[in-house]
Structure 1
Amino acid sequence: MANETLTGKDLLALGFPEGKAIGVTLKLLQAHFAATPLEEQLLLLAQVLANPAEYLAHPVLADLAEALTAPKAPGIIPLHDAPIPFTTYGVEGIESGAKRQMVTAMRLPVAVAGALMPDAHQGYGLPIGGVLATRNAIIPYAVGVDIGCRMCLTLYPAPATLITEQRDQLKKILVDNTRFGRATFQKPQEHAVIDRAEFMEIPVLRGLKDRAFSQLGSSGGGNHFVEFGAVTLSDAQNEFGLPVGEYLGILSHSGSRGLGAQIAGHYTKLAMAQTPLPQEARHLAWLDLDTEAGQEYWLAMNLAGDYASACHHQIHARLAQALALEPLALVENHHNFAWRELDAQGREVIVHRKGATPAGLGVLGIIPGSMTAPGFIVRGRGVAASVNSASHGAGRQMSRTQAQNTLSPALVQQHLQAAGIDLIGSGLDEAPMAYKDIHQVMAAQQELVDVVGTFTPKIVRMCGNEKYLEGE
């Protein structure tokens, strides 16, 4: 060999992999083997290349051996050429970006079924309103950032007219007993979910326990809310055993707070490293459920879902105590989650519902409208084409930025007054006009759910200004 020193090309010809190992080798040769004949260098390198594990403890060659035994980064995983067929409900009201995202999701190698709900709009990875069933794979961004975000409704043995009769008292009850965004209770109530073993057994959760406890019983920002409203039960065969008619109700919408966001961020990075996908699908990277990371995420996701539920239960317990009323019934459902379910052939699939409500046969849920439109208590009909799902709400027709740039406080206030709504907090991005018509959304999915009753908001509490208490 004419070269006085070995080069990267020489190492590639010897069989070295491209990457770190070549750089490590060249530095090692220069530092320790500059005076060694080239033939002896090549013989030594060939021996290390053939059995790198034998040199992991070598005083000089250990770094090279480690570089050769390090896991190789996987190459880009190709998508299928054509998407698996899926059903779209309310297609005329869904933006093109959400449709494209769903098509991309249905080209994943792990995808087996899917559906797009009528409230769908574009998000990260799977569109909000997207349902995706996979085989033995969990996709953190198909679950979403606010893991286990849910609706919770309680009905009380009081007439809905109480809202009109005691409106000021109920406003104060909402402000005194709810917290939103960064505001938390000075003394959070204890709950068994904080003592769960996962907080110590899963590394990423160990530093999140204290924050989770401090936020327990509070709600997030954005579209999260707690509302007093009128519940109208219209189905005499309702599961609550209650007469048809009107009841005082409390409806809440919130998720897993900072806990869910941290879990989503951590495991999305792991998934993107383990299953790199083409650019348009990169946020749909998955974790194999047979891997340690996949099992960790599954446990962490379920913990976040249980934490979100605990927050809702504490919200409703505080309000029930302030009202001095015992609830007659509770309905609770969640989205931004993944479930183990069986497909039509009896095989297990992982069903991701990102902004979609479980609607299996006989399953109860709540589909809210906007702060000036009714929500619906529904019973699922178990339609296979929808992967046993329905919408999780009305869905946005304006982005947050669009709403902030096009709507005015005066216009929103006029809209609220016309609907008889008292609003505490919120911003233009959550104005009712930013949302689709819930009646059109429900019409598009009438084959998916039966309506058991409605919830009409009257006093709405969201993250934001509370100066009304000072008479402003």
Structure 2
Amino acid sequence: MHQIGGHKLLNFASHIDDNTIEQAKETAAMPFVHPHVALMPDAHSGKGSAVGTVIPTIDAVIPAAVGVDIGCGMIAARTVYTESDLAGRNLADLREEIERAIPLSPGNYNANIDRFEFTRDRLADLEASARAENIDLSHSPKWREQLGSLGGGNHFIELCLDEQQRVWMFLHSGSRGVGNKIAQKHIKIAQRLCKSWWIELPNPDLAYLPQSTPEFSCYIRELHWAQRFALQNRAEMMDRFRTVFAAWMGVDANGAADIEVDRVNCHHNYTQKEQHGGRDVWLTRKGAVDAHEGVRAIIPGSMGTRSYIVRGKGNAAGLCSAPHGAGRRFSRTEARRRFTADDLAARMQGIEYRHGAEWVDEIPDAYKDIDQVMADAADLVEVEHQLRQVLNVKGT
């Protein structure tokens, strides 16, 4: 960890590019940042603020820093099984069952919302919360059909083994289209307001909403609802995953819940009220997890590399945060230019996955070395479990 001279900026990444540093400097220069911005070990350049940036702000929030996938994060569940229980079973069949239970890729939603009994209670919870908080969802008439869908990009579902060869279910997703619509709406409002107030910004994606305005209050209400949706979305998909995995293992639906013994569900794109530097702040973790002392979180690698279940150390300099993954080395365009489907197949040797050129931009070589990221994060978290995947399902 070192301070970037002359800026309220601490950097925990040993490998970081100049553009990411410049983006972080712009963010750290905003007048309401306190006590400093922290760059996580996986930090890389993003839209507006760098991904892997932790931003504490007093009486203001930057909607574009939270990003368009509000509440994006990870969920992991340990099962009663070990590697030996998988012997002789066809992982391709399980992958196909997962793909039938969980809609994949952007724009793909559930054809109906009553296939699984547990979906009903989650929708009722979200509907009641939306009514109570007066959340405007008119922009997303199909938000109910989005619950339990994966999305695209680097969103994924995996079956993993830990250091004791115990079987884990693992997935990455967020608030889907409804969260995107909420984010886009408030980013535009913040930009319009800052322009009307003649506020000069380093870039338009640092437009902010002051806490004293009704627009801020509306954003926080809708943001918290989207974060709730994201948590429920991951839980919904995990319950579906568990259902089909149990059936694949020969357990009927009534016994599916009994195969799970541990679960962690955490955001890595979100804002919440916390205390840092002796002040109440809105802490935005854009590509970072909560690492307060004892808090459990998930740090995934890329497809074909290790992932980690961790516990926070409560590092004040790191704003009680930790990295959210490996972090990209190459853009998607550059990865497609450099690598082929054959390169991906070689890197995924021994792992069941959907073959094809459309996943080349997710090849492990397009990401930072997860071992280096975790070494850089040694002061932020301690490792509880180390996972390696045996099956991977990607959104496109």
Which TM-score applies when normalising by structure 2? 0.88
Amino acid at match of 1:184: Y
Q: Does 1:285 pair with 2:207?
A: yes
1:353 is aligned to 2:285: yes
Is this contact kept in 2: 1:199–1:205, CA < 8 A? no
Q: 1:168 and 2:92 equivalent?
A: yes
**Partner residue, 2:276:** 343
CA contact (8 A) 1:83 1:107 kept: no
Equivalent residue, structure 2, for 1:412: 344
RMSD, matched Cα: 1.8
Give a deviation string over 1:320-359, Cα, whole Å, max 9, x none: 22213421010111111011001242x2101100001111
- Do the aligned residues in 1 keep the contact of 2:108 with 2:151 (CA within 8 Å)? no
> Quick one: which amino acid aligns to residue 189 of structure 2?
L
1:333 and 2:255 are equivalent in the alignment: no
How far apart are residue 252 of structure 1 and its match? 0.5
Partner of 1:151: 74
Distance in 2 (CA, whole Å) between partners of 1:193 and 1:351 is 26
Is 1:374 the equivalent of 2:297?
no
Q: Which position in structure 2 is the counterpart of 1:255?
A: 174
1:61 alignment counterpart: none
Cα distance in 2 between the residues matched to 1:205 and 1:332 = 25
CA shift digits 1:399-427 (9 cap, x unpaired): 0000111111111112212xx11112652
- Partner Cα distance (1:392, 1:250) in 2: 18
- CA separation in 2, counterparts of 1:436 and 1:162? 33
In 2: Cα distance, 1:118 partner to 1:304 partner: 27
Q: 2:320 aligns with which of 388, 407, 425?
A: 388
Q: Which of residues 146, 155, 160 in structure 2 aligns to 1:224? A: 155
CA contact (8 A) 2:92 2:352 kept: no
Match of 1:102 among 21, 24, 41: 24
Does the 8 A contact of 1:130 with 1:353 survive in 2?
Answer: yes
When Rg is computed on C-alpha atoms for both structures, the one with the higher figure is 1
CA distance in 1, matches of 2:238, 2:294: 24
The answer (yes or no) to whether the contact 1:212–1:258 under 8 Å persists in 2 is yes
Aligned residues with identical type, % of pairs: 32
**SS in structure 2 opposite 1:205?**
coil
* Per-residue deviation, residues 121-143 of structure 1 (Å, max 9, x unmatched): 11112110001100011110110
Q: Which has the higher contact order (CA 8 A, sep 6+)?
A: 2
- Structure 2 CA distance for aligned equivalents of residues 83 and 164 of structure 1: 57
Code of the aligned partner of 1:421 = I
Separation in structure 1 between the aligned mates of residue 268 and residue 294 of structure 2, nearest angstrom: 17
- Where does 1:163-202 land on structure 2 (aligned, <5 Å)? 163-166=86-89, 167-181=91-105, 182-188=107-113, 189-190=119-120, 191=122, 192-198=124-130, 202=134
- Quote how far apart the aligned CAs of 1:193 are: 3.7
CA deviations over 1:176-210 (Å, ceiling 9, x no partner): 222112222222232234313536865742332x3
Paired residues of 2:201 and 2:207 also in contact (CA < 8 A) = no
Aligned residue runs from structure 1 range 438-449, under 5 A: 438-449=370-381
Q: Does 1:270 align with 2:189?
A: yes
> SS in structure 2 opposite 1:206?
coil
Corresponding letter in the other structure for 1:231: D
For the structure 1 residues 145 and 344, does the alpha-carbon distance in structure 2 shift closer, same or farther, using more than 3 Å as the test?
Answer: same
Query: What CA distance in whole angstroms lies between the structure 2 residues aligned with 1:272 and 1:334?
Result: 25
Unpaired runs of 5+ residues, structure 2, are 114-118
Structure 1: unaligned runs, 5 residues or longer: 1-81, 233-244, 465-472
Distance (whole Å) between structure 2 residues aligned to residue 163 and residue 302 of structure 1: 39
Question: TM-score, normalization: structure 1?
Answer: 0.74
Structure with bigger strand share is: 2
Q: Secondary structure at the match of 1:158?
A: strand
* Equivalent residue number for residue 165 of structure 2: 246
Match runs of 1:101-140 below 5 Å = 101-112=23-34, 113-140=36-63
**Aligned AA for 2:338?**
T
Native 8 Å contact 1:160 1:231 kept in 2: no
Equivalent position SS for 1:280: coil
Instruction: Return closer, same or farther for 1:432/1:105 CA change in 2, 3 Å cut-off.
Output: same
Q: Shift of the alpha carbon at 1:460?
A: 0.3
Report the 3-state secondary structure (helix = DSSP H, G, I; strand = E; otherwise coil) of the residue aligned with 1:349.
strand
Is 1:423 the counterpart of 2:353? The answer is yes
- Partners of 2:303 and 2:233 in 1: how far apart? 21
- Equivalent residue number for residue 388 of structure 2: 456
Show the counterpart of 1:64.
none
Equivalent-residue separation in structure 2 for 1:448 and 1:203 (angstroms):
36
For 2:190 and 2:84, locate their aligned partners in 1 and report how far apart those are by CA, in whole Å: 51
Correspondence for 1:310: 232
